[in-house]
Amino acid sequence: MLTVGFVGWRGMVGSVLMERMRQEDDFN
């Protein structure tokens, strides 16, 4: 259960990080 929650949290953070990188790439 804890592992699944950690993976979900990490996946959410990774998604936000990828979106931020994508926005920076478009900005540049």
Instruction: Write the pLDDT tens digit of every residue in 1-28.
Output: 678 887 888 889 989 999 998 988 877 6
- Amino acid sitting at position 15: S
pLDDT score, position 1: 64
Degrees, nearest 5: CA angle 14-17-20: 155
Per-residue tokens: 20: 């931020």
Using only the alpha carbons of the chain, give its radius of gyration: 12
Degrees, nearest 5: CA angle 5-12-2: 10
Could you give the count of Cα atoms lying within 13 Å of 8 in the half-sphere of its Cβ?
A: 5
